[in-house]
Amino acid sequence: MRPTFSLGIEEEYQTVDPETRDLRSHIATEMLAKGKLRLEERVKAEMHQSVIEVGTRVCKNIQEAQEDLFDLRRNMIRLAEEHGLVLVAGATHPFADWRVQEIYPDPRYAQVVEDLQLVARANLIFGLHVHVGIEDREAAIRIMNSLRYFLPHILALSTNSPFWLGMETGYKSYRAKVFENFPRTNLPDSFASYSEFESYVNLLIKTGSIDNAKKIWWDIRPHPFFSTVEVRICDIPMRAKESIAIAALIQATAAKLYKLHERNIDFRQYSRALLMENKFRAVRYGLDGKLIDFGKQQEVPARELILEYLGFVDEVLDELGSREEIGYIHTMLEQGSGADRQLRVFRETKDLKSVVDFMASETKADL
């Protein structure tokens, strides 16, 4: 059965005090309740109260996903303003201190904090997750295995967390460094079959390591409850248009890999150890770095490799109807990622509050 390649997009936002520009815990109060009234299940609490998560419906194409995501952002910006807050899309806050953030009162989050202690409390980060509908579980595992190769390229495009606790970290995605303190994160190994993956999950449940497969927080995973492959590596970008371009690229990559398999061609598998080298480069340097082309065994500027990558997926864009949305990646390569733009503002102003203001204005852009 051919996959539907349907899309679901989740974004996590910061709620910021317009005076101090610091994060402000709000969700436990009425903001979440109001959001749920208006947007139903498309709004969720996250572990820290200053994080609010939205998720689109299941969308059959990228245009539907864009319409839904833009609508969610517009609604959340309005809702934040009604509560005297500002909505910001950034994968870390430039200077907020996780030590003073409140945890959302929910047994599930209490358990995560109990299990992971300081690591859970420090996990004050904001991501973009993209689901692609791949109903056949064996196809999902095959596509996941091959898609791992492209995750560093995708991460480089999304990088949007250069600051932490008021410091310039030297990383374009410091969020990735914070998150890897959790167990069962980073790139997964490849799996020979879905049953091999299931055996792995069952062993972890049997041994009391996890209570269900949602506690596997890899950069990509077969979703335990939906018929999707979920890509979780991305920082949340500042602009909704960037999120849509990245989602379209992920969808196109899955479709292209499926097409290759239909022709009995398989994308070459590389070891996790090699792929992690590229992930580190993406985390550290973003679009300004070099990634390794493992086929040629050479390092190549990230922007060049991404242009080559766009050529790789080109043949599926018209049937997916996503050529225009993916075209925005050229703009992203010219303007730089969110991290590059945040750093530019900081170089000009030497003021992290100005960076927060810039992020807030970018969060509203194009809507």
Residue 319 to residues 61, 241, 250, 267, 313: CA-CA distances in angstroms?
A: 10, 21, 15, 21, 11
Q: What are 102-111's contacts with CB under 8 Å, separation 24+? A: 102/25, 102/28, 102/48, 102/49, 102/50, 103/47, 103/48, 103/49, 104/27, 104/28, 104/45, 104/46, 104/47, 104/48, 104/49, 105/28, 106/45, 109/47
The answer to whether residue 261 sits within a structural domain is yes
The answer to whether residue 176 sits within a structural domain is yes
Encoding tokens for residue 183? Answer: 């167990």
CA distance 138 to 16: 43
Q: Provide the number of structural domains found in the chain.
A: 1
Q: What is the pTM of this model?
A: 0.96
The answer to whether residue 272 sits within a structural domain is yes
The answer to whether residue 198 sits within a structural domain is yes
What pLDDT was estimated at residue 36?
81
Residues linked to residue 231 through DSSP beta bridges, in sequence order:
130, 220
| Residue 36: count of CB within 10 angstroms of its CB | 14
CA distance 350 to 354: 8
* Lookup result for tokens 């934040």: 80
CA distance 80 to 195: 44
The answer to whether residue 156 sits within a structural domain is yes
Residues of the chain with pLDDT under 50: 28
The answer to whether residue 1 sits within a structural domain is no
What pLDDT was estimated at residue 27?
62
| Residue 197: count of CB within 10 angstroms of its CB | 22
- Give me the domain span that covers residue 67: 7-364
The answer to whether residue 2 sits within a structural domain is no
Encoding tokens for residue 337? Answer: 């990622």
DSSP code, position 126: -
* CATH number of the structural domain spanning residue 166: 3.30.590.20
What pLDDT was estimated at residue 101?
82
Name the nearest CA neighbour of 239 among 72, 340, 364, 75. Answer: 364
Consecutive H or E run containing 86: strand 86-88
